[in-house]
Amino acid sequence: MELKPKLTRRNFMKLAAMMGATAFLTTYKSEIVKAVSEVKDYWHINWLNGAACTGCTISFAQASEPDLVQILTEITVGTSGLPIALPDYMETIHPASGSLAERLKDERWAQGTPGRRVLIVEGAVQEEGYCTIAGKDFRDHLKEAGEVADAVIAVGQCATYGGIPAAKPNPTGAMGVSEFFKEVGINKPVINIPLCPVHPDHLVLTIAAVMIGATPDLDEYGRPKAFFGKNMHDEICPYRPYYDRGIFTRRPGEEGCRYVMGCKGPITKTDCALRKWNMHISYCVETNMCIGCSEPGWPDKFSPFYKPVASLPAVLGVDFGTLGQGLLGAAAAGIVIHGVKRAVTSGKKEEKEE
Ligand code: SF4
Ligand code: SF4
């Protein structure tokens, strides 16, 4: 008897949200491959790099389920026989180089060329003059590509919200793709997949969703709700029972909640705790703590990293919307505040003894 629900365009992202990106990819791999192979049009991919460390490219290359070889050899789009994610243009891996690479990109991306186009952007957009590729400003590359794209995906914290290049004092005027599009009058939605770096499962699933027409439902910051709809601290952190009992770590490696160390889980929406990294082995909170890289305003809004989140909702473990719901929350808050105080006090005592 078949226990798993049938995969359709409608429930594609819903199932991804329920199961977590990685489990969804594993469970529905053959159905996803089939759905992509039935797509009518071939989708050209243009992957542009602005102000970035190329970490998102590396992360994508380390995809594990499916891995990059499977992506390039087993998942073909429509009747083209071509892989789902073989960018026509991607500086770090495309086989052509120099003027040939630029010419091929322009030809395949030009209006009138058969197929549809998905633009993937890695890295922030800076003011004119700071990033020039093949003699042309990155802003012009991006504007031209954005104008003809059928779908736009910004990957990683820098392309989504500006990331580290946009940190104070932001000397190059760095910003994310949506902000740049607003500035130059391109009025089309940008699917923001943040994190530093982007998670390959998020990206592979989003590309597949776009191609089969299962457009992801986005939150107010342009993020797919399927991946970024949950507050990590309130909904999915396995260390939450420690928080509720007031057991806090002060150093990586100790057992307990990382709140006192400065964990930003209480103000971060992401599915990291379910999905994890590197073949589902571990994630930031397991090895240290969350620094909030899925959120707009990062890193400034989350600095200093090693300081507990100060706002009231985070301290109470509930948001303002649920604060009025009764005494239960207040009682829990009392336990938590007591726990936090106890941990901070015992830490001070330890420091004196050292
Ligand atoms: S503070 Fe961090 S480690 Fe502690 S429960 Fe919240 S998200 Fe988990
Ligand atoms: S756990 Fe936090 S810091 Fe780590 S990748 Fe997820 S959002 Fe970023």
Same-domain check for residues 144 and 256: no
CA-to-CA distance for 204 and 234, rounded, in angstroms?
Answer: 27
Which CATH number covers residue 333? 4.10.480.10
Residue 1 lies in a domain: no
pLDDT at 286: 93
Low-confidence spans in the chain with pLDDT less than 70: 1-3, 65-66, 68-75, 77-86, 311-354
Indicate the residue among 206, 226, 246 that finishes a domain.
226
Nearest alpha carbon, ligand 2 atom 6: 272
42/155 same-domain check = yes
Burial (CB < 10 A; 0-12, 13-18, 19+), residue 110, is exposed
Q: What are the angstrom distances between the C-alpha of 35 and each of 22, 211, 336?
A: 18, 9, 47
> Which CATH number covers residue 164?
3.40.50.700
Domain co-membership, 204 together with 302: no
Per the structure, the complete domain to which residue 288 belongs is given by: 232-353
Residue 300 is assigned to a structural domain of this protein: yes
Residues 192 and 275 in one domain: no
> Do 79 and 202 fall into the same domain?
yes
- Could you tell me if 30 and 163 lie in one domain? yes
pLDDT confidence of residue 314: 46
Tell me which of 211, 226, 241 is where a domain ends.
226
Q: What confidence score (pLDDT) does residue 352 get?
A: 40
Centroid of chain to Cα 251: 27
Phi, psi of 116, rounded to the nearest 5 degrees: -110, 175
Position 151 scores a pLDDT of 95
Q: Which of 203, 226, 249 is the last residue of a domain?
A: 226
Ligand 1: which atom is nearest the Cα of residue 242? 5
pLDDT in tens, 145-172: 999 999 999 999 999 999 999 999 999 9
* Residue at 21 is within a domain: yes
Same domain, 23 and 97: yes
The amino acid at 23: A
DSSP assignment letter at 200: H
Task: Report DSSP letters for 153-184, one per residue.
Answer: EEEHHHHHH-TGGGSTT-TT--B-HHHHHHHH
- Number of separate domains in the chain: 2
60 and 83 co-located in one domain: yes
Residue 335 lies in a domain: yes
Q: What distance in angstroms lies between residue 202's CA and the mean position of ligand 1's atoms?
A: 22
7 domain-assigned: no
Ligand 2 center–CA 292 separation, angstroms: 5
Whether 306 and 339 map to the same domain: the answer is: yes
The token pair that represents 107 in the structure block: 């030809």
Shared-domain flag, residues 348 and 268 = yes
172 and 105 assigned to the same domain = yes
Residues 287, 168 within the same domain: no
CA of 14 from ligand 1 middle (Å) equals 25
d(CA 60, CA 228): 19
Is 3 within a domain? no
Question: In angstroms, rounded to a whole number, what is the distance separating the alpha carbons of residues 198 and 270?
Answer: 12
Catalytic-labelled residue, pool 131, 196, 199, 202: 196
Q: Is 272 annotated as a binding residue?
A: yes
Q: Which residues' Cβ are closer than 6 Å to ligand 1? A: 232-233, 237, 239-240, 243, 257-259, 263, 265-266, 285, 290
Give a yes or no: residue 122 inside a domain.
yes
Regarding the beta carbon of 289 and ligand 2, being less than 6 Å apart is answered no
